[in-house]
Structure 1
Amino acid sequence: MPSMIEVRAPLEIKVDPQGGWELAFWVLDSFNYATPFRAMLIEIAEALAQHPIRSVSLPDYIVDEDFVEGTLLFNGSSLRVYYEHALSYLTLANDDRGVLTIVAQRVQSRIALI
């Protein structure tokens, strides 16, 4: 049975300050270094029917990591991944808003608004 991704606000697609668009997941509490964002990203990859080991690329884990950047491959697109513990949010970004709309639709069944 898939795990639920707990978020504090509904998923939102907005302009990415780096260019393009971003899908924001506002998760758990700010400055909570125990937030399992890596597991959440694996859950997202699985919801997208992607094989996480091949599709998720992140730097090695370090204690108290913050401002983590990586990629998630989806349907021929590379999504920019960014996680910030300080604000407790995970974003997936791409130049094509339509790609992020599909991602949001596919992961919605695994989202729990708390």
Structure 2
Amino acid sequence: MSDVWTLAAAAAMIRSMIEVRAPLEIRADGEAGWELVFWVLDSFNYTTPFRAILAEIAEALGQQPIHSLSLSDNTTDEDFMEGTLKFDGGPLRVYYEHALSYLTLGSVDRELLTKMAVRVQPRVILV
């Protein structure tokens, strides 16, 4: 029985990995502070699951996506999307776009983004 559970858990982990084409990066975001960047790099592919990636990030941070993630309604061919993700007592800026195929989480607190990157990293796979 435990072997079956272990295989199921391993399969679930594989399905829930966040695929990126470059290592996670924290960079300056002009006057807005800092941003943690997830480079998916599948430009103009409108099937890239940015909402699922955000839900996975929220879960990795110990948040319930339905209560901590705020995005506008899902639309066909959505692009240049903004929202918020609640974490550690405050909202983080969320932005993603299909044109350049990346997702960012922004904050004025670089240390908070570093803490987030460490917690999310086990669910990130470089492909």
Please give the TM-score of this superposition, normalised by the length of structure 2: 0.87
Letter in 2 for 1:25: F
1:58 is matched with 71
2:100 to 87, 96, 113: 87
2:121 is matched with 108
Tell me how far 1:66 sits from its aligned partner. Answer: 0.4
Tell me how far 1:87 sits from its aligned partner. Answer: 0.3
1:28-64 deviations in Å (ceiling 9; x for gaps): 4111100000000000000000011000000000100
1:31 to 44, 52, 59: 44
1:5 is matched with 18
1:41 is matched with 54
State the identity as a percent. 68
Tell me how far 1:17 sits from its aligned partner. Answer: 2.9
1:47-102 deviations in Å (ceiling 9; x for gaps): 00001100000000010000000000001021100001000000000000011001
Partner Cα separation in structure 1 for residue 114 and residue 91 of structure 2 = 14
Structure 1 segments of 4+ aligned residues over 3 angstroms from their partners: none
Which stretches in structure 2 are left out of the alignment for 5+ residues? Answer: 1-11
Partner Cα separation in structure 1 for residue 51 and residue 41 of structure 2 = 14
Q: Which one has the bigger helix percentage?
A: 2
2:28 is matched with 15
Partner Cα separation in structure 1 for residue 80 and residue 126 of structure 2 = 24
Letter in 2 for 1:73: K
Partner Cα separation in structure 2 for residue 113 and residue 77 of structure 1 = 29
Confirm or deny: 8 A CA contact 1:28 1:35 kept in the other structure. Answer: no
Letter in 1 for 2:53: M
